[in-house]
Amino acid sequence: MNTIPGDFDPIPSTRYRPSVGIGTLKQAMAEADALAVPVSAGAEPAEELGTDAAGLASAGFTAQRGQTLVRPTADGPVRVAVGTGTPDQVDTTLVRDLAAEFARAVPWHRRLAIEIPSRDVGISVSDYAQAATEGVLLARWRYFVGRDADRPLLESLLVVASDEQADEVAAGVQRGRVIAEAYCLGRDLSNCPASTLSAVRMAEVALEVGPPAGLEVEVFDKDQLIELGCGGLLGVNRGSVEPPRMIRLRYQPEQPTGRIALIGKGIMYDSGGISLKPSDESHAQMKNDMTGAAAVLASMTALRALGCTAAVTGYLMCTDNMPSGSALKLGDVLRMRNGTTVEVLNTDAEGRLVMADALALATEEPVDAIVDIATLTGACLRTFGVEIAGVMGNDRGVVEQLRRAGDAVDEPVWELPLHRSYRSQLDSPIADLTNMGGVNAGSITAALFLEEFVDGRPWAHVDIAGTAQLPQPRTWRNKGATGSGTKLLIEFALAFNRPASLP
């Protein structure tokens, strides 16, 4: 790898390890700097808040869903009232958001505590604890390599629970911590500058974090990719001084209940190649064009700890896309892993080229479902904005499982039609197909291109071009490259059922 002076660790979240545990209210009052106290609408707040409902109302706090109120105190931790609305309004999304808002409301406090309600609030105390843990840990994460970068923004999180709740709460806290740590890994990788995180370094990270998480990691270099016939990945890599890498990850439980292949686009930096992007804000974000690969790697590091029963194989297709004298040219024809030839009409439509090889490889092994995830099309960003990802697929069951997973973890996906009459836009006079359709329906024609390589297997494509970058922080989501898709893939794998369309 070509390095520059001052290169740094691409995964600084390995230093973000606040202590997380459960304890008593007495312990929180003695040790925490700030305490979050949930308040239900129409109910009197807990005594430790130091006021009653009338006092809160005088400050404009009525415990409506999503409200927060910071109450400084003369002694003990700052108290933060968090409104949960009525019990029927409480769900994990609300709890995660409120926990994040609490963490952001007291930015200078590094020892936080959050209470679990003693009464029924519509979800289990385990789910409540998991969501609260995720919210705090994700809100306090940051990617920063300047002065004082090693100074932690969070030293500890104490989840306050009664003795009767302790076992359930502990299980929820542990799940929340595992998921948050995986998500932070995905964020680290997506935010890391491309001069530091090349395809080679991405493979080194996978070898570093994969085996301790129970993953088998295989790295394929350029010569091996030539032997495999991965013409898409090799073609996109032509203009780069950095060699490509394909990284294959395997998670294999003892008695798998299903077999999933996850494919992540790993364009470490996307200049557009010969079809050079304009020098604008969007171009400046192109270190995040490997968010799909980051999400696959990050999600798979959590599977063993969460007890996933499905076998999962991940493919990370990694290279940058650069212009040079050897770069891929418009009009060139590539031969992909499955023998399909592709006429390249736009070198900035490179993600689908690298992913096509992996899709073909995934079909060569027994598999129940294939899911690819990529920052693929600006058309998807323009359709859904920055809070919703697009999804398309050839199997209703797989698409529906992704939709449910997204709703469960607050990474929503919305289905676009895989309208096959648009497939004719990919016809080429000299090859099997082109890599670009017309000016309209770009997200759909991109998915139709990918479908050419799944050989009829149950498959879905998730386009995270919009959700991969946020202009401002919002609840547990960070500003910048988001690591989008990590929680979605974790939940999809944990809840996976073989599609009904399979024999």
Cα-flanking dihedrals φ and ψ of residue 414, to 5°? -130, 135
pLDDT of residue 12: 77
Over residues 484-493, the mean pLDDT reads 98
Pairing of strands 311-321, 389-393: unpaired
pLDDT of residue 5: 47
Phi-psi region of 191 (alpha: psi -120 to 50; beta: other; left: phi over 0): alpha
The pLDDT tens digits of the residues spanning 111-125 come to 999 999 877 778 999
pLDDT band at 449 (very low <50, low <70, confident <90, very high): very high
Rounded-to-integer distance, Cα 196 and Cα 1, Å: 9
Two tokens, residue 487:
């929680």
Over residues 263-274, the mean pLDDT reads 97
pLDDT of residue 25: 94
Q: 145 burial class (0-12, 13-18, 19+ CB within 10 angstroms)?
A: middle
What are the Cα distances from residue 299, in Å, to 7, 38, 134, 337, 375?
Answer: 26, 30, 14, 26, 17
What are the catalytic residues?
277, 352
**Helices (H) then strands (E): counts for the chain:** 15, 19
3-state secondary structure of 241: coil
Rounded-to-integer distance, Cα 343 and Cα 332, Å: 6
pLDDT band at 9 (very low <50, low <70, confident <90, very high): confident
User: b/e map of 403-416 (b: 16 or more CB within 10 Å)?
Assistant: bebbebbbbbbeeb
Strand partners, 317: 246, 265
Q: 309 burial class (0-12, 13-18, 19+ CB within 10 angstroms)?
A: middle
pLDDT at 104 over 50: yes
The pLDDT tens digits of the residues spanning 297-319 come to 999 999 999 999 999 999 999 99
Cα-flanking dihedrals φ and ψ of residue 118, to 5°? -85, -20
Q: What is the DSSP letter of 477?
A: B
On the CB side of 442, CA atoms within 13 Å amount to 17
pLDDT at 128 over 70: yes
**Range list of H helices, 24-165:** 25-31, 53-58, 92-105, 125-140
| Cβ contact 483:294 at 8 Å | yes
Residue whose C-alpha is closest to residue 468's, from 97, 179, 187: 187
Rounded-to-integer distance, Cα 173 and Cα 365, Å: 36
pLDDT at 3 over 70: no
pLDDT of residue 7: 65
Residue whose C-alpha is closest to residue 11's, from 202, 178, 174, 218: 202
pLDDT of residue 118: 78
Rounded-to-integer distance, Cα 290 and Cα 268, Å: 5
DSSP letters of 263-305? EEEEEEEE--TTSPPPSSHHHHTGGGGGHHHHHHHHHHTTTTT
Overall size of the chain counted in residues: 503
Two tokens, residue 251:
């998670």
Rounded-to-integer distance, Cα 135 and Cα 157, Å: 11
pLDDT band at 2 (very low <50, low <70, confident <90, very high): very low
The pLDDT tens digits of the residues spanning 167-198 come to 999 999 999 999 999 999 999 999 999 999 99
Rounded-to-integer distance, Cα 278 and Cα 285, Å: 12
Residue whose tokens read 């809160």: 56
Rounded-to-integer distance, Cα 416 and Cα 195, Å: 35
DSSP letters of 16-58? ---EEEEE-HHHHHHH-SEEEEEEETTSPPPGGGSS-HHHHHH
Which range has the worst mean pLDDT, 52-56, 336-340, 368-372? 52-56
Rounded-to-integer distance, Cα 90 and Cα 116, Å: 13
DSSP letters of 180-212? HHHHHHHHHHHHS-TTTS-HHHHHHHHHHHTGG
